[in-house]
Amino acid sequence: MRTLMMNTFLCIALACFGSFIRGCCSAKLPEPAHPGPLAGWKESQEGGVHTVGTLVLKEGESSDNGKIGVKVVDITAANPCAEYGSLQSLPRVKMQFYKAPQQTVICEELLTAGSGTSLIAGPCGENIADLGVTTISVNAINATEGWVWFELRK
Protein backbone atom coordinates (compact mmCIF):
# COMPACT_ATOMS: atom_id res chain seq x y z
CA MET A 1 0.00 0.00 0.00
CA ARG A 2 2.79 2.37 0.92
CA THR A 3 4.59 1.71 -2.41
CA LEU A 4 1.38 2.45 -4.33
CA MET A 5 1.01 5.79 -2.53
CA MET A 6 4.65 6.69 -3.23
CA ASN A 7 4.26 5.83 -6.92
CA THR A 8 1.05 7.85 -7.15
CA PHE A 9 2.72 10.83 -5.45
CA LEU A 10 5.73 10.64 -7.80
CA CYS A 11 3.48 10.47 -10.87
CA ILE A 12 1.49 13.50 -9.73
CA ALA A 13 4.69 15.42 -8.86
CA LEU A 14 6.21 14.66 -12.28
CA ALA A 15 3.01 15.69 -14.07
CA CYS A 16 2.92 18.99 -12.17
CA PHE A 17 6.61 19.64 -12.81
CA GLY A 18 6.18 18.89 -16.53
CA SER A 19 3.21 21.27 -16.73
CA PHE A 20 5.21 23.94 -14.94
CA ILE A 21 8.13 23.64 -17.36
CA ARG A 22 5.87 23.71 -20.42
CA GLY A 23 4.02 26.70 -18.97
CA CYS A 24 7.24 28.72 -18.93
CA CYS A 25 7.94 27.95 -22.56
CA SER A 26 4.46 28.65 -23.84
CA ALA A 27 4.48 32.20 -22.48
CA LYS A 28 4.41 34.80 -25.25
CA LEU A 29 7.10 37.41 -24.88
CA PRO A 30 6.03 41.08 -24.86
CA GLU A 31 6.50 43.02 -28.08
CA PRO A 32 7.61 46.69 -28.29
CA ALA A 33 5.22 49.43 -29.35
CA HIS A 34 5.66 51.13 -32.72
CA PRO A 35 7.73 54.32 -32.28
CA GLY A 36 5.41 56.42 -34.45
CA PRO A 37 6.58 58.91 -37.11
CA LEU A 38 10.37 59.11 -37.48
CA ALA A 39 12.84 61.40 -39.26
CA GLY A 40 13.58 58.95 -42.08
CA TRP A 41 16.69 59.70 -44.15
CA LYS A 42 17.45 62.96 -42.39
CA GLU A 43 20.99 63.49 -41.13
CA SER A 44 21.44 64.86 -37.63
CA GLN A 45 24.21 65.36 -35.10
CA GLU A 46 23.63 64.98 -31.37
CA GLY A 47 26.22 64.49 -28.65
CA GLY A 48 28.93 63.40 -31.09
CA VAL A 49 26.64 60.87 -32.82
CA HIS A 50 26.06 61.48 -36.54
CA THR A 51 22.80 59.80 -37.56
CA VAL A 52 22.21 59.27 -41.28
CA GLY A 53 18.67 57.91 -40.97
CA THR A 54 16.08 56.65 -38.49
CA LEU A 55 13.68 54.17 -40.06
CA VAL A 56 10.99 51.57 -39.41
CA LEU A 57 10.72 48.91 -42.11
CA LYS A 58 8.53 45.84 -42.37
CA GLU A 59 9.81 42.45 -43.44
CA GLY A 60 10.46 42.56 -47.20
CA GLU A 61 10.52 46.38 -47.35
CA SER A 62 13.53 48.45 -48.39
CA SER A 63 14.52 52.09 -48.38
CA ASP A 64 17.44 54.13 -49.69
CA ASN A 65 18.81 57.66 -49.65
CA GLY A 66 20.15 57.60 -53.21
CA LYS A 67 23.56 56.26 -52.13
CA ILE A 68 22.89 53.38 -49.74
CA GLY A 69 19.89 51.16 -49.32
CA VAL A 70 18.72 48.75 -46.65
CA LYS A 71 16.25 45.88 -46.91
CA VAL A 72 14.66 43.83 -44.12
CA VAL A 73 15.11 40.27 -45.38
CA ASP A 74 13.81 38.27 -42.42
CA ILE A 75 12.50 38.81 -38.88
CA THR A 76 12.69 35.98 -36.33
CA ALA A 77 10.83 36.07 -33.01
CA ALA A 78 12.60 35.35 -29.74
CA ASN A 79 12.22 31.81 -28.45
CA PRO A 80 10.79 32.00 -24.90
CA CYS A 81 12.20 28.52 -24.15
CA ALA A 82 15.77 29.39 -25.16
CA GLU A 83 18.52 29.88 -22.60
CA TYR A 84 18.54 33.45 -21.31
CA GLY A 85 21.06 35.60 -23.18
CA SER A 86 21.46 33.18 -26.09
CA LEU A 87 20.92 34.33 -29.67
CA GLN A 88 17.66 32.35 -29.82
CA SER A 89 16.31 34.18 -26.74
CA LEU A 90 16.42 37.50 -28.63
CA PRO A 91 14.35 38.75 -31.58
CA ARG A 92 16.54 38.90 -34.69
CA VAL A 93 16.52 40.60 -38.06
CA LYS A 94 18.50 39.82 -41.19
CA MET A 95 19.21 43.04 -43.06
CA GLN A 96 20.70 43.51 -46.49
CA PHE A 97 22.70 46.61 -47.43
CA TYR A 98 23.09 47.67 -51.06
CA LYS A 99 24.37 50.44 -53.31
CA ALA A 100 21.18 52.30 -54.11
CA PRO A 101 21.46 53.34 -57.73
CA GLN A 102 22.62 49.94 -59.00
CA GLN A 103 20.83 47.80 -56.34
CA THR A 104 24.18 45.98 -55.90
CA VAL A 105 24.20 44.02 -52.64
CA ILE A 106 27.13 44.89 -50.37
CA CYS A 107 26.39 42.51 -47.50
CA GLU A 108 23.86 40.95 -45.12
CA GLU A 109 23.95 41.17 -41.33
CA LEU A 110 22.05 39.26 -38.64
CA LEU A 111 21.24 41.70 -35.84
CA THR A 112 19.41 41.54 -32.51
CA ALA A 113 17.12 44.04 -30.82
CA GLY A 114 18.99 46.51 -28.63
CA SER A 115 22.25 46.00 -30.47
CA GLY A 116 24.63 48.57 -31.87
CA THR A 117 26.86 47.01 -34.51
CA SER A 118 29.85 48.27 -36.46
CA LEU A 119 29.13 47.42 -40.08
CA ILE A 120 32.72 47.99 -41.22
CA ALA A 121 34.04 45.35 -38.78
CA GLY A 122 31.82 42.63 -40.26
CA PRO A 123 31.13 41.33 -43.75
CA CYS A 124 30.23 44.81 -45.05
CA GLY A 125 33.79 46.05 -44.57
CA GLU A 126 34.95 49.36 -45.94
CA ASN A 127 32.50 49.10 -48.87
CA ILE A 128 29.72 50.42 -46.69
CA ALA A 129 31.80 53.21 -45.14
CA ASP A 130 32.35 54.62 -48.64
CA LEU A 131 28.57 55.08 -48.82
CA GLY A 132 28.40 57.11 -45.60
CA VAL A 133 27.33 54.50 -43.02
CA THR A 134 29.51 52.68 -40.49
CA THR A 135 27.15 51.61 -37.70
CA ILE A 136 23.59 50.39 -37.19
CA SER A 137 21.64 50.57 -33.96
CA VAL A 138 18.60 48.28 -33.76
CA ASN A 139 16.21 49.95 -31.32
CA ALA A 140 13.34 47.45 -31.48
CA ILE A 141 12.02 44.42 -33.35
CA ASN A 142 8.35 43.48 -33.31
CA ALA A 143 8.11 39.98 -34.79
CA THR A 144 4.32 39.79 -34.38
CA GLU A 145 3.70 42.90 -36.50
CA GLY A 146 6.82 42.26 -38.61
CA TRP A 147 8.77 45.51 -38.30
CA VAL A 148 12.19 46.74 -37.15
CA TRP A 149 13.13 50.21 -35.88
CA PHE A 150 16.75 51.15 -36.47
CA GLU A 151 19.22 53.99 -36.93
CA LEU A 152 22.08 54.19 -39.42
CA ARG A 153 25.10 56.21 -38.32
CA LYS A 154 28.45 57.49 -39.56
| Mean pLDDT, residues 25-52 | 91
Residue 29: inside a domain: no
Residue range of the domain that includes 121: 44-153
Residue 36 lies inside a defined structural domain of this protein = no
Q: Is 147 inside any structural domain?
A: yes
Give the predicted TM-score (pTM) of the model: 0.80
Domain with 58 in it: what CATH number?
2.60.98
The stretch 106-120 carries a mean pLDDT of: 91
Residue 53 one-letter amino acid: G
Q: What is the pLDDT of residue 123?
A: 86
Q: Bigger pLDDT: 153 or 84?
A: 153
pLDDT score at 75: 97
* Cα-based torsion angle of the residue sequence 127, 95, 135, 90 in order, rounded to the nearest 10 degrees: -150
Residue 9 maps to a domain? no
Q: Is 135 part of any domain?
A: yes
Identify the weakest region by mean pLDDT among 25-39, 84-98, 101-115: 25-39
Q: What is the pLDDT of residue 152?
A: 97
Greatest extent of the chain over all pairs of C-alpha atoms, in Å: 81
How confident is the prediction for the chain on average, in pLDDT?
Answer: 86
Asked whether residue 144 is domain-assigned, the answer is yes
On whether the CB atoms of residues 129 and 121 are closer than 8 A, the answer is: no
Tell me how far CA of residue 71 lies from CA of 22, 24, 40, 74, 108, in angstroms: 36, 34, 14, 9, 9
Is pLDDT above 80 for 24?
no
How many domains, in total, are found in the chain? 1
In this model, does residue 126 exceed pLDDT 70?
A: yes
Whether residue 85 lies inside any domain: the answer is yes
125 located within any domain: yes
Task: Provide the pLDDT for residue 49.
Answer: 92
